[in-house]
């Protein structure tokens, strides 16, 4: 080896852990014509190492240092060669660093032999599958793990002969020798690393032809009747989505073949690997008793993943800060494809109730973030996900379509997809296309809605006409341009007004109405501070509003008014008690019952709880008795179970749990009985220990039994046992089942236990950074929600403030997590302090 080479190698600096944006930008600027030729030898045994090799080919304009990502021990890199000769390299912080002297202008081909890491290979006893989003491909093989370096992949898999296999490319050949088979796949079109995929194992394969295209479904379902019942519907839904998207985008399906794999207990609903989509099996293979919601959910997830074949796969975000775009577009397209097939569902109301409250829960807080965020390293990409991406962004995208018009929006999308096909684009690229088509309307709009956090406050003034005024509560003087459908009501008459609110105020020709709801048509987004007449009207007769969508919007507004301190919990509960029996729409009933439970526990002072309990229980029992369907009965019953406090009420619940009492039209499954037992124990009814042990013993499903045993100690009436229950969470191994931890943590911090569990608040905050490091993307926020949602005392609020004071170094994103989870607590503590003389 030449001494100069050694010196160069020794002097290499680490680009830092993870995938820093600076590294990604630099590589994208210099690497061209990227190709991977990959071979994996997959043993039958899940624990045996996967030997692998690759050739990475790319063009350089001039010799330069090359940094590949491989997040494994150095020992797993067996050889790095160029032209068959071993080359020196550094290995720092998960990066293979080749000196400039090892490269040359023109095509470079680096040959690497290695052992693939298991982290993104999801190895099970009879199958495995890749899942690399957002940047986990480099756990499995050395690569440039960033979305802006799209590559063509040629894959060879050596697998047990009894296994089935699929990958992005079409199979081009196979050769068997003994119990091993080697399968070769065609070179792919350009793909980002997060979409490179294969799945192999013991699968059944179903094939179907639709519109001249062959679809293949890989699955592990053993119930042949279930497969027979579902297969045609699953193929039809895919075929329909493909045709719809080809028509909408004016671009033929880009990936040649179309396979999909149904994975048991898959991490997500689906993952859009080009040409080889993965799904959670239970979302597609439905039982005969599937509800309308499950059917809608299946159609939606299939359309969502299929839409990604264009939105995300064909055109990919340059960096993960724009991941929200592909998610929103996929949902947006899915709704267009699917909703017309479910005419009995009020889709506008569903959109309102599923997105607005969740978006407001973050956006009203000091922990809100813009839709488009900075992301300096892909190892933080998980923290981008949350209600702002999943719930605010769809609302915003709907506004964008209104600005451009349906046809204009579609044509803009066609431009965008065509211009950036097989490449990358940013949100700004899309804004530029739409701004050119709608001059002056899109860029400003995007600045307020996408680049900035928070929401406008919109006040209404009634008179000879109605005036809407918006202002920026964060003092930036931001104007949020938006389309509103304003509803105004007079005795015996209702009118909707389409309003484009592009400035600080808007006037509506509605003289002296009884009430005005600026978001009555379910479009507007903001904090709507209702005028006094409207607020009075809603509290007195919200149920008189005939349109279910407008009623739903009114309930969303009432909740915001409650948090603003302009409506009391008692007023809200009285209004709900009167309105609920007359509410014909199941979605609204569900929403109001949720508000009732939340007000009862979190907003009502504890002494008023006891006073209100008997009447509230009576109302919920009456609702249960009168509800016409099982699903409505179950909403009423769950609300009852969650609030019940009186001895008589608890005795009835206990009889139901003991199966001594039947409820007409409602049957309980094991999870329902578990929830009853836990709630009885939480209330410390006589014999609560026996109830818990009896429930444990009667639980049949082993997963549920294990979960129940895990949660049980957090329900103990003995504070020492609860203390131990909390202490468990400090150990990573005890946090493996995040859903279990969250359930236990919620019970520990239930309002009934809040005074004693206040001492867990600080330790839970102290654990947060570790939880973020070790947990799934949604865990940090859910952990804080589970901890803080039960607390409303000034003392608990002080714990949060002291934590902030003690940790000025807390990363911004974690600060946001705490601030948004603590918002209700900090608000009510502030109200309590204000009430004190
Ligand atoms: Zn998606």
pLDDT > 90? residue 460: yes
In angstroms, what is the span from residue 330 Cα to ligand 1's centroid?
A: 6
Strand partners, 155: 38
DSSP string covering 176-239: EETTEEEEEEPPPSSB-GGG--EEEES-EEEEEEETTEEEEEEE----HHHHHHHHHHHHHHHH
pLDDT > 80? residue 644: yes
Distance CA 309, CA 286 (A): 24
| Best CA proximity match to 244, nearest among 358, 174, 342, 332 | 332
In angstroms, what is the span from residue 323 Cα to ligand 1's centroid?
A: 9
In angstroms, what is the span from residue 814 Cα to ligand 1's centroid?
A: 24
Give the model confidence (pLDDT) of 821-837 as tens digits.
999 999 988 887 776 65
| Best CA proximity match to 34, nearest among 89, 102, 108, 103 | 108
What's the whole-number average pLDDT of the chain?
95
- The rounded Cα 368 to chain-centroid distance in angstroms is 16
Distance CA 587, CA 349 (A): 8
In angstroms, what is the span from residue 152 Cα to ligand 1's centroid?
A: 22
In angstroms, what is the span from residue 328 Cα to ligand 1's centroid?
A: 8
pLDDT tier for residue 8 given thresholds of 50, 70 and 90: very low
pLDDT > 90? residue 10: no
Counts for the chain of helices (H) and strands (E), in that order? 31, 28
Find the helix packing angle between 812-821 and 794-806, rounded to 10°: 180
CB of 528 closer than 8 Å to CB of 517: yes
Per-residue model confidence (pLDDT) at position 383: 79
In angstroms, what is the span from residue 128 Cα to ligand 1's centroid?
A: 21
Per-residue model confidence (pLDDT) at position 835: 66
Strand partners, 69: 95, 143
Near ion ligand 1, which residues have CB within 5 Å? 327, 330
pLDDT > 70? residue 682: yes
pTM, whole model, 2 decimals? 0.90
Mean pLDDT of 409-435: 98
| Best CA proximity match to 791, nearest among 820, 816, 828 | 828
In angstroms, what is the span from residue 477 Cα to ligand 1's centroid?
A: 34
In angstroms, what is the span from residue 272 Cα to ligand 1's centroid?
A: 7
Distance CA 75, CA 418 (A): 44
The alpha helices in 712-778, defined as continuous H runs, are 719-727, 738-748, 754-757, 761-774
Per-residue model confidence (pLDDT) at position 9: 45
Strand partners, 466: 508
Give the model confidence (pLDDT) of 348-371 as tens digits.
999 999 999 999 999 999 999 999
In angstroms, what is the span from residue 817 Cα to ligand 1's centroid?
A: 23
Give the model confidence (pLDDT) of 792-809 as tens digits.
999 999 999 999 999 999
pLDDT > 90? residue 14: yes
Residue 553 neighbours by CB distance under 10 Å = 28
Q: Name every residue whose Cβ is closer than 8 Å to that of residue 489 and which is 6 or more positions away in sequence.
A: 495, 513, 514, 515, 516, 537, 545
pLDDT tier for residue 4 given thresholds of 50, 70 and 90: very low
Give the model confidence (pLDDT) of 762-789 as tens digits.
999 999 999 988 887 788 999 999 999 9
In angstroms, what is the span from residue 282 Cα to ligand 1's centroid?
A: 17
CB of 639 closer than 8 Å to CB of 633: no
Quick one: what percent of the chain has pLDDT higher than 70? 98
Per-residue model confidence (pLDDT) at position 379: 87
In angstroms, what is the span from residue 331 Cα to ligand 1's centroid?
A: 7
Give the model confidence (pLDDT) of 514-533 as tens digits.
999 999 999 999 999 999 99
In angstroms, what is the span from residue 303 Cα to ligand 1's centroid?
A: 10
- The rounded Cα 628 to chain-centroid distance in angstroms is 33
Give the model confidence (pLDDT) of 562-595 as tens digits.
999 999 999 999 999 999 999 999 999 999 999 9
pLDDT > 50? residue 2: no
| Best CA proximity match to 275, nearest among 238, 316, 243 | 238
Out of 3-7, 228-232, 404-408, 562-566, least confident range: 3-7
In angstroms, what is the span from residue 470 Cα to ligand 1's centroid?
A: 34
Q: Name every residue whose Cβ is closer than 8 Å to that of residue 291 and which is 6 or more positions away in sequence.
A: 631
Per-residue model confidence (pLDDT) at position 6: 47
Give the model confidence (pLDDT) of 366-383 as tens digits.
999 999 999 999 988 877
pLDDT > 90? residue 257: yes
Give the model confidence (pLDDT) of 130-181 as tens digits.
999 999 999 999 999 999 999 999 999 999 999 999 999 999 999 999 999 9
Identify the sign of the CA torsion 458, 460, 461, 465: positive
Q: Is 1 exposed, middle or buried (0-12, 13-18, 19+ CB in 10 A)?
A: exposed
Per-residue model confidence (pLDDT) at position 517: 98
CB of 537 closer than 8 Å to CB of 460: no
| Best CA proximity match to 308, nearest among 280, 272, 258 | 272
Find the helix packing angle between 347-363 and 393-404, rounded to 10°: 120
């Amino acid at each position: 080896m030449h001494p100069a080479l050694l010196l160069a190698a020794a002097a290499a600096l680490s680009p830092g852990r993870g995938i820093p944006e600076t590294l990604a930008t630099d590589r994208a600027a210099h690497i061209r014509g990227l190709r991977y030729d990959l071979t994996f030898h997959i043993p039958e045994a899940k624990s045996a190492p996967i030997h692998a090799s690759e050739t990475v080919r790319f063009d350089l304009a001039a010799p330069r240092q090359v940094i590949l990502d491989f997040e494994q021990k150095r020992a797993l890199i067996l050889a790095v060669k160029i032209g068959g000769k071993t080359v020196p390299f550094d290995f720092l912080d998960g990066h293979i660093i080749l000196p400039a002297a090892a490269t040359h202008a023109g095509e470079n081909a680096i040959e690497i032999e290695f052992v693939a890491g298991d982290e993104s290979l999801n190895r099970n006893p009879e199958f495995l599958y890749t899942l690399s989003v957002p940047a986990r491909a480099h756990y499995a093989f050395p690569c440039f793990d960033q979305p802006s370096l799209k590559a063509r992949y040629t894959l060879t898999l050596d697998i047990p002969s009894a296994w089935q296999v699929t990958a992005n490319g079409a199979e081009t050949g196979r050769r068997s020798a003994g119990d091993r088979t080697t399968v070769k796949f065609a070179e792919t079109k350009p793909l980002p690393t997060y979409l490179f995929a294969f799945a192999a194992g013991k699968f059944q394969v179903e094939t179907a032809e639709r519109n001249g295209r062959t679809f293949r479904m890989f699955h592990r379902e053993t119930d042949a009747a279930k497969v027979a019942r579902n297969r045609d519907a699953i193929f039809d839904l895919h075929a329909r989505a493909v045709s719809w998207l080809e028509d909408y985008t004016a671009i033929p399906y880009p990936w040649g073949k179309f396979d999909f794999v149904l994975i048991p207990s898959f991490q997500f609903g689906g993952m859009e690997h080009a040409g080889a989509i993965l799904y959670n099996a239970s979302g597609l293979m439905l039982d005969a008793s599937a509800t309308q919601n499950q059917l809608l959910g299946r159609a939606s997830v299939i359309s969502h993943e299929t839409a990604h074949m264009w939105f995300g796969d064909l055109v990919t975000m340059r960096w993960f800060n724009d991941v929200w775009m592909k998610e929103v577009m996929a949902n947006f397209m899915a709704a267009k494809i699917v909703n017309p097939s479910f005419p009995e569902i009020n889709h506008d109301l569903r959109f309102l109730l599923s997105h607005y409250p969740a978006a407001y829960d973050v956006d009203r807080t000091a922990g809100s973030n813009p839709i488009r965020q900075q992301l300096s390293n892909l190892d933080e990409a998980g923290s981008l996900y949350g209600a702002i991406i999943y719930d605010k962004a769809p609302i915003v995208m709907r506004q964008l379509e209104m600005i451009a018009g349906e046809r204009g929006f579609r044509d803009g999308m066609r431009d965008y997809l065509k211009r950036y096909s097989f490449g990358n684009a940013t949100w700004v690229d899309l804004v530029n296309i739409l701004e050119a088509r709608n001059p002056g309307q899109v860029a400003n709009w995007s600045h307020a809605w996408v680049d900035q956090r928070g929401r406008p406050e919109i006040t209404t003034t009634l008179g000879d006409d109605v005036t809407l005024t918006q202002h920026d509560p964060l003092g930036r003087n931001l104007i949020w341009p938006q389309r509103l459908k304003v509803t105004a009501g007079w005795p015996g008459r209702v009118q909707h007004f389409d309003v484009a609110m592009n400035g600080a105020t808007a006037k509506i020709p509605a003289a002296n109405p009884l009430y005005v709801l600026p978001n009555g048509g379910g479009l507007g987004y903001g904090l709507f501070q209702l005028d006094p007449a409207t607020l009075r009207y809603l509290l007195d007769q919200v149920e008189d509003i005939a349109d279910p969508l407008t009623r739903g919007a009114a309930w969303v507004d009432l909740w915001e008014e409650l948090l603003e301190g302009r409506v009391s919990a008692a007023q809200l509960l009285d209004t709900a008690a009167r309105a609920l029996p007359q509410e014909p729409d199941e979605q609204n009933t569900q929403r109001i019952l949720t508000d009732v439970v939340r007000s009862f526990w979190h907003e009502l002072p504890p002494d008023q709880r006891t006073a209100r309990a008997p009447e509230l229980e009576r109302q919920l029992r009456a609702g249960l008795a009168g509800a016409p369907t099982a699903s409505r009965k179950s909403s009423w019953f769950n609300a009852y179970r969650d609030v019940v406090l009186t001895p008589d009420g608890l005795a009835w619940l206990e009889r139901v749990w003991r199966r001594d009492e039947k409820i007409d039209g409602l049957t309980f499954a094991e999870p329902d009985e578990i929830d009853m037992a836990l709630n009885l124990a939480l209330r410390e009814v006589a014999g609560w220990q026996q109830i818990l042990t009896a429930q444990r013993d009667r639980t049949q499903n082993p997963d549920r039994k294990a979960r129940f045993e895990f949660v049980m100690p957090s329900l103990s009436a003995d504070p020492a046992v609860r203390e131990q229950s909390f202490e468990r969470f400090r150990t990573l191994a005890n946090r493996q089942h995040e859903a279990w931890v969250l359930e236990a943590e919620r019970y520990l911090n239930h309002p009934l236990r809040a005074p004693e569990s206040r001492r867990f608040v600080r330790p839970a905050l102290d654990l947060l950074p570790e939880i973020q490091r070790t947990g799934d993307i949604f865990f940090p926020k859910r952990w804080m929600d589970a901890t803080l949602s039960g607390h409303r005392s000034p003392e608990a609020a002080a714990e949060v403030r002291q934590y902030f004071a003690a940790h000025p170094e807390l990363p911004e994103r974690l600060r946001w997590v705490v601030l948004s989870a603590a918002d209700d607590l900090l608000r009510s503590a502030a109200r309590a302090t204000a009430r004190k003389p």
